[in-house]
Amino acid sequence: MEEIIPRAEATLKYARISSRKVKIVADLIKGKNVDEALAIVKYTPKASSEIIEKLLKSAIANAENNHNMTHEKLYVSEIYANQGPTLKRIRPAAKGSAVRVRKRTSHITIVLKERD
């Protein structure tokens, strides 16, 4: 019979930031231990690092409280940012015309697993 690997995750939907910007920081912490990942995120001067830090802390809390996982063994096994719905706004432009402003959103998911 197949052994079920415990995993804890946290998801943030409709984050008001482009998924492209989130992926830059997400690639930095993929595969790292949670403490190392928190340190990287804390000192990365990007707009998405604040959002990811909060989400990572939430995922750690989920792992410890809901799945009885030990903090020392946790690592970021998956992190991905998918595109959410785009808010379309209109901005006045030259000669009485209008320009579309696309305010992009994203859905961010962090999955934590335990190292053996």
Report the percent of the chain where pLDDT is more than 90. 90
Residues 6 or more apart from 52 whose CB is under 8 A from it?
22, 25, 26, 29, 41, 79, 108, 110
Q: pLDDT band at 17, cuts 50/70/90?
A: very high
> Where are the domains positioned within the chain?
7-114
Calpha distance 27→80 (Å, rounded): 9
More confident residue, 16 or 115: 16
Report the distance separating Cα 81 and Cα 83, nearest Å.
7
Partners of residue 111 on adjacent β-strands: 9, 78
- Which of 3.60.15.10, 3.40.1010.10, 3.90.470.10, 3.10.450.50 is the CATH number of 7-114? 3.90.470.10
116/68: higher pLDDT = 68
Which pLDDT tens digit goes with each residue over 32-63? Answer: 999 999 999 999 999 999 999 999 999 999 99
> pTM for the complete prediction?
0.89
